[in-house]
Structure formats: structure tokens, C-alpha cells
Amino acid sequence: HLFTETYDFIQELKQSKLLHNANLYVYQPRSFSTREDFDKAFGKDLYKTNPEKYAYLSKVEPTLSALDDTRATAWITGRRRSQGGERTHVDILEIDDWSHSINTTTSISSKLVPRYKLNPLAFWTYSQVWDYIHKYNIPYNKLHDKGYKSIGDVMNTAPVAHNASERSGRFVGLANISECGIHATRAKIIAMKQQAEAQGHEYNGVADLPSC
């Protein structure tokens, strides 16, 4: 559900020397390889009729799968306090809400350890970010040249005036939503897990989400 320019940007990053020998993985919603297949299964308006379910299917579950598959002990975001909303009080270092297990060095047993979330730009301003991008010739999504200050899904992201707040063009038409779900879903996921366990079966992500 992303813009064509965003997919083009992904390809640009794959070829960029800035990544050196790093591997860039692209994750998609489970069992779906195209937007058309996803919309056929859940309806093209799922993001409006059930935004929590849409956020989990399209954002949260792929992110968690990526973190688990790569056995990440930390992950980095670009969240900043100047973006406002739920990000106003973000810290540079956070303990991630998703506890995960790792194998110990002495046996095949595992133990729960915290996963860290790093927000190195937490105290940067919008202007500082763009000053750095231009100074060091950092690649960026070309939608920024078309008035998009913050970029998400094509259905609910819009360009804004140059003096508008940074994320004012996000979640257009969706009331009381300021995050895509990746950073603001812990309580919701816990509630889903508790509901599944109350029904006597193990929580299994997508399979246990309530229907539309």
C-alpha cells in the first residue's frame, strides 16, 4: 500500500554505496505478495473500517517477523520529539516492548532478554534532518520534493504546505490516529493475546485477530 516512489527508493537504497555490504530485507504482510491480493482478502477499505487490524496485518506483524527472523537485539527508528503526537516524549534509548528469547552460549535452552529500540534523532528538528541530508548527499524519497513531509500509505498520505506541521499529512480521514501501529500497539496486542488465551488456544498473530 506504499507509493510507487517509495518502492523506487527501496531499489535506490539497494544500489547505494552508503549501505556498503549490508543486506536489505523487504517484509510483506503474511501470505500476501501484492496489494491486490491483500485487498481482495480484507477489502480495500480495511484501513478505514478496522484500522487496528489493518495496522497489525500490514505493519506490526511484518515488523515483528523481521525482528525475530534476524534475531535483532536492537532496532533503530527515525522518530523525533519535534514530530509531535505520541512522539513528543520519545527517548534516545528505549527497552522494546517485545521480549524475545535467545539461545544461551552453554546450552540449547533460551532465556528472555529485552530488545532495545534506538531513536538517535530524538532531539533533532525537521530542519536539522534536512540540513544533514543535503550536506552529506543522503538519498531520500522523492515524494519529499512534492510537498510530502511525512510518508506512509498511499491511501491516507497527502502533501502539505511548507509551514504545516510535519505529520499533518498522515492518516488523512482517520480520526484520533497519529501512529501507523508499529510503535503504538503493545496494549492492543496484549489484549488480543489475552482474548485468544481465554478461548483456550495459543495466540498466533494474524489468525487470532477479530474479523472486520
Residues taking part in catalysis: 180
Cβ partners under 8 Å of residue 43, min gap 6: 49, 212
C-alpha span between 55 and 182 (Å, rounded)? 8
- Looking from the CA of 124 toward its CB, the CA atoms found within 13 Å total 16
Distance between the two ends of the chain, CA-based, in angstroms?
Answer: 19
Selection from 127, 131, 159 nearest residue 146 by Cα: 159
C-alpha span between 104 and 81 (Å, rounded)? 37
